[in-house]
Amino acid sequence: MKRLSQSLTDPAFVQNPYQVYADARRRGPVLYWDDMGMLAAFDAATVNALLRDRRLGREPVNPRPYGPHMADWIALETHSMLELEPPRHTRLRGLVLRAFTSRRIGALAPDITEICQDLIDAFPDTPFDLIPAYCTQLPVRIIARLLGVPEEIWPDLLRWSRDMVAMYQTGRTHAVEAAANTAAAEFTTFLRDYVKKRRHDPRDDLITELIAAEEAGEKLSTDELISTCILLLNAGHEATVHSLGNAVKCLLEHETSPQVLEPDQIAATVEELLRYDPPLHVFTRFAYADIELDGATLKRGEEIALVLGAAGRDPAIWDTPDTFDPLRPAKPHAAFGGGLHFCVGAPLARLELQLALPALFSALPDMRMHAPPQYADTYHFHKLDRLMITP
């Protein structure tokens, strides 16, 4: 079996994993990644095929035992469609899509524009960190408006989200697990009270729509509804923050022409940004049968890493894949996953990027980086610790 030995916390890898990916693709494209303790697929063809292969899924064959300190976290995961397979996943996703419609997402455009302008108006005249000032606040405040919860509680939403999402990063400790469980408990308590209010006082918001959503006589239980709202916040917020930060860095580094942010080009530019430097680099699946992959056997119950960050730089799909080219012909990428678990929030993430980037660069046409940006030691996420800019 061909193997890869590459620490997930090696500083050089954290700052630029793409050369490691290129070498792994050439040697593999499927290797046993010692430091992850599982097989990993690095090429676009294998990653896309496995994302759609029904012999794999998110539900583990042998669930990992968690201690009692994770009870509240486990209660949420039990109803999270990200961790479920058909038929429960089919039912939950169908109900969610009845509420999370393209009409509701499109109707958020004025809110996105308004929040962008509010944040831009608050920028200082001196160098500042764009991540907390712009990239972090926009998606969490939009999620608050989407759900219909008070926007002023966005700091709580952000704290809960960060503590829970840390469970998916390398170097997870008992303290990280305890913090995630506390966040799960607090967020669940808040939403349970809020859902109760909305059952008696419906509004034009996603929580009300989720309460009303029905398919073939089936409705979301309160626990399913709460898990869904938390998933929308955690997955949607985390990915958009990092996508936005990575995108601004890329555009500044390449001294990109303002023309690529014009209305007729911005959608293609966003797709190239997501391909070139996506926010999530690995998504895993469990095997439900023995599968032969490039001379290796993925056995039933074992996990495999689908390296989305590597698939987006595959020269078999894109010419000069390590070149950022917003004018290149559009081709599908895997930044939002694929198959049954394709990101429900992808249309909202795309809309936020398509509105937030032109608003920012239009307001700050002379913006430049004040200090070299640094990626955070948070693999499987690929995100910036900070992005210091001079306006």
Q: What pLDDT does residue 126 have? A: 98
Structural domains of the chain sorted by starting position, each given as residue range(s) with its CATH number in brackets: 3-390 (1.10.630.10)
Q: Are 272 and 328 in contact (CB under 8 A)?
A: yes
pLDDT tier for residue 253 given thresholds of 50, 70 and 90:
very high
Mean pLDDT across the stretch 333-343? Answer: 95
Q: Are 97 and 343 in contact (CB under 8 A)?
A: no
| Predicted confidence (pLDDT) at residue 71 exceeds the cutoff of 90 | yes
| Predicted confidence (pLDDT) at residue 216 exceeds the cutoff of 80 | no
| Predicted confidence (pLDDT) at residue 347 exceeds the cutoff of 90 | yes
Sign for the CA dihedral angle at 228, 76, 172, 52 comes to negative
Please enumerate in sequence order all residues whose Cβ is within 8 A of that of 330, keeping only pairs 6 or more positions apart, or say none: 268, 271
Closest by CA to 335, choosing from 279, 251, 267, is 279
| Predicted confidence (pLDDT) at residue 214 exceeds the cutoff of 80 | no
Q: What pLDDT does residue 260 have? A: 97
Mean pLDDT across the stretch 291-317? Answer: 96
Residue 60 tokens read as 């583990």
| Predicted confidence (pLDDT) at residue 298 exceeds the cutoff of 90 | yes
Mean residue pLDDT of the chain comes to: 95
Mean pLDDT across the stretch 216-242? Answer: 89
Cα–Cα distance, 200 to 196 (Å, whole number): 7
pTM of the model: 0.95
Cα–Cα distance, 202 to 193 (Å, whole number): 14
Counting other chains too, the contacts that 327-331 makes at CB distance below 8 Å and 24 or more residues apart are: 327/260, 327/265, 327/268, 328/272, 330/268, 330/271
Mean pLDDT across the stretch 82-89? Answer: 95
